[in-house]
Structure 1
Amino acid sequence: MTDKEDLKKEKKGKGKSKVVCGYPISIFFIVVNEFCERFSYYGMRAVLVLYFKYFLQWDDDLATSIYHTFVALCYLTPILGAIVADSWLGKFKTIIYLSVVYAIGQVALAVSAIHDITDSDRDGTPNNMTFHVVLSMVGLFLIALGTGGIKPCVSAFGGDQFADHQERQRRTFFSVFYLCINGGSLLSTIITPILRGQTCGIHTQQKCYALAFGVPAALMVVSLVVFIMGSGMYYKAKPEGNIMMSVCKCIGFAIKNRYRHRSKAHPKREHWMDWAEGEI
């Protein structure tokens, strides 16, 4: 039996969930998970620069630099997430583990926005700003790792839930999936600034960044819980290796052989990548 036949047999026999209106129930957990996660990310990001400027008291240049560094990290870490999912953990475990990291980061950021923690003289200003800066930076790093790491996995994992003959249902799923992404981002960018505009505090009333970050943190926890609830219904494809890693290994093998066999005893190759022939 070929590997392709084994894969088809495995997909038919494992992770098969009940079907409602032609769609596997498992995708509903994935769609809700994505909506909550996008609400969490864009909601937090909507007030992040304001938090830098008015809570951490950074100037415009520093606030802008850190903000864009964070956004850049969020779009670089998907490469790491894809490699981990394809080569070692698989999509399901990668989503679970990195969502936990993501949720911890959101909670850390929310806690860093509670000014009463270090406001020992009760004047409304944190006395140990270093604590808030360090905790918020740790939180943002974990968020970047989490949101970027799961980005290439969730949509692909949703597509895995459909059998080969369910092309129409798969197309509809992706339409709804991206609708949830945009819906979550739209609602969060409206709601989170309103939450930030509230006042809160034990000793003094300040703009409530803790609430503005706390609600997205809660939504991220909900996202994780919902995703785990569907665990028994998912089809979980095994990792088959990452194409980027294979390409890098192939290039490295070609370069190594090219310089190892430079003597005339070895015939020249038409292209330097031909030295990777033994690896392929």
Structure 2
Amino acid sequence: YDSWGHAKQTKLCGSNYPLSIAFIVVNEFCERFSYYGMRAVLTLYFINFFHWDENLSTSVYHAFSALCYFTPVIGAIMADSWLGKYKTIIYLSIVYVVGHLIKSVGAIPSLGNQAVHVVLSMVGLFLIALGTGGIKPCVSAFGGDQFEEEHRSKFFSVFYLSINAGSLISTFVTPVLRGRKVGVFVF
């Protein structure tokens, strides 16, 4: 604490950057990697695991994508009128991870009949959409709040680089891993 009783911020590698920036940037990279990686094989999952036709698979895929673009409205309302940015990010990140866990459990072949798989997968996708969209209006604003005006542009450059790097890398890596049949579940 300083002489005024305020907590001193821990700096990132001796720079003027708060340590929280590393967590924000790495979290955003991982979040985008996770989202786009799952989305890259989602239609194939519907077709090969659920044995849905292409029209239904594509419709559900696009409904999921649309929900992901609508839920930032919910996240913004939660952050601005109820929880604040930080708690909204924490809580909806947990919702996001739980969604991925439920979605993954729904892909276990020996779990039960197809109805169980579909219900778990759809609940998981709903939670993923709520999580990914809900944190979107908060994360960049929270990161920008960590800096004075003159240093924000550098943060946003690194922040959006991490978003695009996570998206790009996962879009290429996930289908390669699927093609090599890496992992426990192959659909």
So what's the TM-score if we normalise by structure 1? 0.61
RMSD (CA atoms)? 1.8
Asked if residue 18 in structure 1 is aligned to residue 10 in structure 2, the reply is yes
1:54 equivalent in alignment to 2:48 = yes
Residues 17 and 184 (structure 1), Cα distance of their counterparts in 2 relative to 1, 3 Å cut: same
Q: Which amino acid aligns with 1:139?
A: G
Q: Which runs of 5+ in 2 are unaligned?
A: none
Distance 1:200 1:22 in 2: 41
Q: 1:14 deviation in Å?
A: 5.5
C-alpha separation in 2, matches of 1:143 and 1:73: 10
Task: Write the distance in 2 (CA, Å) between the matches of 1:87 and 1:149.
Answer: 14
Residue correspondence of structure 1 range 77-226 to structure 2 within 5 A: 77-118=71-112, 128-164=113-149, 167=150, 169-197=151-179, 198=181, 208-209=186-187
Q: Percent identity?
A: 66
**Among candidates 13, 28, 34, match of residue 34 of structure 1:** 28
State the alpha-carbon separation in 1 of the partners of residues 67 and 102 from structure 2: 18
Aligned partners of 1:181 and 1:151: how far apart in 2? 11
Q: Does 1:67 align with 2:61?
A: yes
Aligned to 1:214: none
The number of aligned residues is 181
Q: Distance in 1 between matches of 2:61 and 2:52?
A: 12
Report the alpha carbon displacement of residue 13 of structure 1 after superposing the two structures with TM: 7.3
What displacement does 1:196 show? 2.1
Offset at 1:193? 1.4
Residues 197-276 of structure 1 mapped to structure 2, 5 A cutoff: 197=179, 198=181, 208-209=186-187
Please state whether the residue corresponding to 2:48 is helix, strand or coil. helix
Q: TM-score when scaled to structure 2?
A: 0.90
Give the SS at the match of 1:23.
coil
**Structure of larger gyration radius:** 1
SS of 1:21's equivalent? Answer: coil
**Stretches of structure 1 lacking an aligned partner (at least 5 in a row):** 1-11, 119-127, 202-206, 210-280
Tell me which amino acid in the other structure corresponds to 2:90.
I
Distance between the aligned counterparts of 2:6 and 2:65, measured in 1? 38
Structure-2 change in CA distance of 1:16 and 1:81 (3 Å): farther
Contact 1:85 1:94 in 2 (8 A): yes
Q: Distance in 2 between matches of 1:72 and 1:45?
A: 13
Distance 1:208 1:173 in 2: 39
